Amino acid sequence: MFDLHCRTCDQAFVAGPSSFASLHHTTDGLVGYARCPTGHVNVVNFHTRVHPVETEASRVTAA
């Protein structure tokens, strides 16, 4: 179950498995199309990483 928000009718709704029209695995993560109770289709991005991990520059210490 997911707590989602429909941008078209400006209403919060709980989406279960039957609410999703389709799910797709993309390079950015899982993307789903969920219907709100009034029938509007919403794109939901289930990104694997919400905040990208920054690579830290390697450190070299001199002895």
What is the rounded CA–CA span in Å between residue 45 and residue 54? Answer: 21
Structure confidence at residue 58 (pLDDT): 57
Look up the pTM and report it.
Answer: 0.65
What is the rounded CA–CA span in Å between residue 21 and residue 39? Answer: 11
Structure confidence at residue 28 (pLDDT): 79
Print pLDDT tens along the chain (63 aa): 889 999 999 999 999 999 999 999 988 788 999 999 999 999 998 875 555 556 555 556 565
Structure confidence at residue 27 (pLDDT): 84
Q: Please name the helix (run of DSSP H) or strand (run of DSSP E) that holds residue 30, with its range, or none.
A: strand 29-35
